[in-house]
Structure 1
Amino acid sequence: MSGENKNRVEFRVGGMTCAACQATVRRNVAKLPGVSEVNVNLLTGRMDLLLGGAEAVATEEIIKAVERSGYTAELLSALAGAAGNGAATAIAEQPAAATQRAEADSVIRSRRIFILSLLLYLPNLYLGMASMLGLPLPSFLTAGGGKGVQGLLQFILVIPILYLNRDFFISGTRAALHGAPSMNTLVSLGTGSAVLYGIYALFRIIAAEGGGDTETAHFYHTHLSFDSAAMLLVLIRLGRTLEAGAKRKTTQAVRQLLDLAPDTARRVEANGREVVVPATELRPGDTVRILPGERVPVDGAVIDGNSAVDESALTGESIPVAKGVGDAVSTATINGLGALLVRTDKVGSETRIAAVARLVEQVAGSRAPIARIADRISGWFVPIVVAIALITLTVWLLSGSSVEFAFNRAVAVLLISCPCALGLATPVAIMVGAGRGAQLGVLVKSGEALEALSGVQTIVFDKTGTLTMGEPVVTDVVPNAAVYDTDAEAVFLRVAASLETGSEHPLAAAVLNYAAAAGAVPRSLGTVQALPGAGIGADLSTEIVAELGLPSGSTRLMAGNARLLCDTLGADQTNTGTVRDTAGTSSTIRNAAIEDALRRAASLAEEGKTVLFFFTESVYLGLIAVRDEPRPESGEVIGQLHDRGYKLMMLTGDRRETAVAIGKELGLEPEEIAAELLPGDKVAVVRELQAKGDKVAMVGDGINDAPVLAAAEVGLAMGAGTDIAIETADIILMRSDLHAVADAFGLARQTFMNIKQNLFWAFFYNLLAIPLAAGVFYPSLGIVLSPVMGAAAMSLSSLFVVGNALRLRRYGRSRYEGEVSKMKTVELRVEGMSCPHCSGRVEKALNALPGVEATVDLAAGTAKIKYPDSVTREQLIAAITDAGYDVV
Structure 2
Amino acid sequence: MVPDSATPDKSAPESKSDSRTPSKVSREAPCTHCDLPTPYVGENPPHPLFCCNGCRGAYELIQGWGLDSYYDLRDQANGERNRMPEATDKGRFDSFDDPEFLGLSTPKQQSDGLQSAQLAVHGLHCAACAWLIENAAQQTEGWNTARVHLGDHTLRVMFDPATCSLSGIARLLHRLGYELAPITKQPDAHFRKENRRLLTQIAIAGFCAANAMWIAVALYAGDASGVAAEHRLLLRLMGTGLGLIAVAVPGRTFFRGAFAALRTWTPHMDLPVALGLSVGTVTGTVNAISGRGDVYFDSLAVLVFFLLVGRWIQFHQQHRAAKAVDLLLRITPAHANRIAADNTTDWVLVDTLRPDDQIRVAAGESLPADGIIAAGNTTLDRSLLTGESQPVAAQTGDEVSAGTLNLSRSIDVTVRAVGSESRIGRVMQSVESAMAERTPIVQLADAIGGWFVVIVTLLAIAALVIWSGEGWGLAAGHATALLIVACPCALALATPLAIAVSLGRAAKRKILIRDGASLQLLASKGILWFDKTGTLTEGRSRAQVLYGPETALSDAAAVERDCSHPIASAIERECLLQGLTPPDDAELLVVETGGVQGVCEGRQIVVGNIPFLTSKGIVCSAEILAAVDASLQIAATPIVIAVDGVATTVLGLSDPLRQQAAETVATLQRRGWQVGILSGDHPAIVAAVAQQIGIPLELAHGGLLPADKLERVRQPQSMITVMIGDGANDAAALAAADVGIAVRGGAEVSLQAAPIFIASGRLTSIVELIRGSSATSKLIRTTFAVSLSYNLFAVGFALAGWISPLLAAVLMPLSSISVLSLTLAWPTFRSP
Shorter-chain TM band: 0.7 to 0.9
Find 1:231's aligned residue among 272, 288, 302.
302
- 1:601/1:754 Cα in 2 relative to 1: closer, same or farther (>3 Å)? same
| Structure 2 equivalent of residue 813 of structure 1 | 830
| Structure 2 equivalent of residue 870 of structure 1 | none
| Matching of residues 225-624 of structure 1 within 5 Å | 225-255=296-326, 257-258=328-329, 261-267=333-339, 273-276=343-346, 278=348, 279-280=350-351, 282=353, 288-291=359-362, 296-299=367-370, 304=376, 324-325=393-394, 331=402, 338-342=409-413, 346-355=417-426, 357-397=428-468, 400-476=469-545, 478-479=547-548, 488-490=549-551, 492-515=552-575, 518-521=580-583, 523=585, 525=587, 528-531=590-593, 535-538=594-597, 544=599, 547-550=601-604, 558-566=606-614, 568-569=616-617, 594-615=621-642, 618-624=645-651
Does the 8 Å CA contact 1:412/1:773 hold for their aligned counterparts? yes
- 1:699/1:40 Cα in 2 relative to 1: closer, same or farther (>3 Å)? same
| Structure 2 equivalent of residue 635 of structure 1 | 662
Cα separation, 1, equivalents of 2:717 and 2:532:
23
Cα separation, 2, equivalents of 1:378 and 1:10:
26
| Structure 1 equivalent of residue 101 of structure 2 | none
Query: Would you say how many aligned residue pairs link Structure 1 and Structure 2?
Result: 714
| Structure 2 equivalent of residue 128 of structure 1 | 216
Which secondary structure state, in structure 1, belongs to the residue aligned with residue 499 of structure 2?
helix
Find 2:688's aligned residue among 654, 658, 661.
661
Find 2:147's aligned residue among 39, 42, 51.
39
Name the aligned partner's letter for residue 262 of structure 1: A
Q: CA deviation at 1:50?
A: 4.3
Q: CA deviation at 1:420?
A: 0.8
Residues 403-456 of structure 1: CA distance to partner in whole angstroms, max 9, x if unpaired? 121111111121122121122121111111111111111111122232233235
Find 1:671's aligned residue among 698, 714, 723.
698
Tell me, yes or no, if structure 1 residue 27 matches structure 2 residue 96. Answer: no
Residues 840-887 of structure 1: CA distance to partner in whole angstroms, max 9, x if unpaired? xxxxxxxxxxxxxxxxxxxxxxxxxxxxxxxxxxxxxxxxxxxxxxxx
Does the 8 Å CA contact 1:474/1:511 hold for their aligned counterparts? yes
| Structure 2 equivalent of residue 792 of structure 1 | 810
| Matching of residues 832-847 of structure 1 within 5 Å | none
| Matching of residues 180-191 of structure 1 within 5 Å | 180-191=266-277
Residues 621-676 of structure 1: CA distance to partner in whole angstroms, max 9, x if unpaired? 42222222222222222222121111111222221232233333333332332112
Name the aligned partner's letter for residue 231 of structure 2: G
| Structure 2 equivalent of residue 106 of structure 1 | 194
- 1:595/1:147 Cα in 2 relative to 1: closer, same or farther (>3 Å)? farther
Cα separation, 2, equivalents of 1:116 and 1:135:
29
- 1:286/1:386 Cα in 2 relative to 1: closer, same or farther (>3 Å)? closer
Cα separation, 1, equivalents of 2:622 and 2:195:
78
Which secondary structure state, in structure 1, belongs to the residue aligned with residue 212 of structure 2?
helix
Name the aligned partner's letter for residue 150 of structure 1: L
Q: CA deviation at 1:467?
A: 1.5
Does the 8 Å CA contact 2:547/2:627 hold for their aligned counterparts? no
| Structure 1 equivalent of residue 8 of structure 2 | none
Name the aligned partner's letter for residue 657 of structure 1: A
Cα separation, 2, equivalents of 1:512 and 1:293:
32
Name the aligned partner's letter for residue 259 of structure 2: T
Structure with bigger RCO (C-alpha 8 Å, 6+ apart): 1
| Structure 1 equivalent of residue 252 of structure 2 | 166
| Structure 2 equivalent of residue 757 of structure 1 | 782
Cα separation, 1, equivalents of 2:175 and 2:804:
35
Tell me, yes or no, if structure 1 residue 730 matches structure 2 residue 755. Answer: yes
- 1:449/1:63 Cα in 2 relative to 1: closer, same or farther (>3 Å)? farther
Cα separation, 2, equivalents of 1:559 and 1:56:
62
Could you tell me which runs of 5 or more consecutive residues in structure 2 were left unpaired when the two chains were aligned. Answer: 1-108
Name the aligned partner's letter for residue 236 of structure 2: G
TM-score, normalising length from structure 2? 0.77
Which secondary structure state, in structure 2, belongs to the residue aligned with residue 525 of structure 1?
strand
Cα separation, 2, equivalents of 1:310 and 1:520:
31
Name the aligned partner's letter for residue 278 of structure 2: G
| Structure 2 equivalent of residue 198 of structure 1 | 284
Name the aligned partner's letter for residue 373 of structure 1: L
Name the aligned partner's letter for residue 787 of structure 1: P
Cα separation, 2, equivalents of 1:774 and 1:756:
27
Cα separation, 2, equivalents of 1:619 and 1:293:
54
- 1:766/1:310 Cα in 2 relative to 1: closer, same or farther (>3 Å)? same
- 1:248/1:16 Cα in 2 relative to 1: closer, same or farther (>3 Å)? closer
Does the 8 Å CA contact 2:236/2:288 hold for their aligned counterparts? yes
Does the 8 Å CA contact 2:133/2:146 hold for their aligned counterparts? no
- 1:520/1:342 Cα in 2 relative to 1: closer, same or farther (>3 Å)? farther
| Structure 2 equivalent of residue 146 of structure 1 | 231
Which secondary structure state, in structure 2, belongs to the residue aligned with residue 813 of structure 1?
coil
Cα separation, 1, equivalents of 2:498 and 2:266:
26
Q: CA deviation at 1:714?
A: 0.9
Cα separation, 2, equivalents of 1:607 and 1:622:
17
Cα separation, 2, equivalents of 1:6 and 1:450:
29
Name the aligned partner's letter for residue 303 of structure 2: L
- 1:3/1:289 Cα in 2 relative to 1: closer, same or farther (>3 Å)? closer
Does the 8 Å CA contact 2:535/2:743 hold for their aligned counterparts? yes
The percent identity for this pair of structures is 26
Residues 322-348 of structure 1: CA distance to partner in whole angstroms, max 9, x if unpaired? 675469875467767853455656433
| Structure 1 equivalent of residue 71 of structure 2 | none
| Matching of residues 822-861 of structure 1 within 5 Å | none
Q: CA deviation at 1:135?
A: 11
Name the aligned partner's letter for residue 539 of structure 2: G
Which secondary structure state, in structure 1, belongs to the residue aligned with residue 512 of structure 2?
strand
| Structure 2 equivalent of residue 646 of structure 1 | 673
- 1:300/1:619 Cα in 2 relative to 1: closer, same or farther (>3 Å)? farther
Q: CA deviation at 1:713?
A: 0.6
Moved more, 353-362 or 599-608: 353-362
Name the aligned partner's letter for residue 489 of structure 1: E
Which secondary structure state, in structure 1, belongs to the residue aligned with residue 642 of structure 2?
strand
Q: CA deviation at 1:300?
A: 5.4
Cα separation, 2, equivalents of 1:521 and 1:108:
76
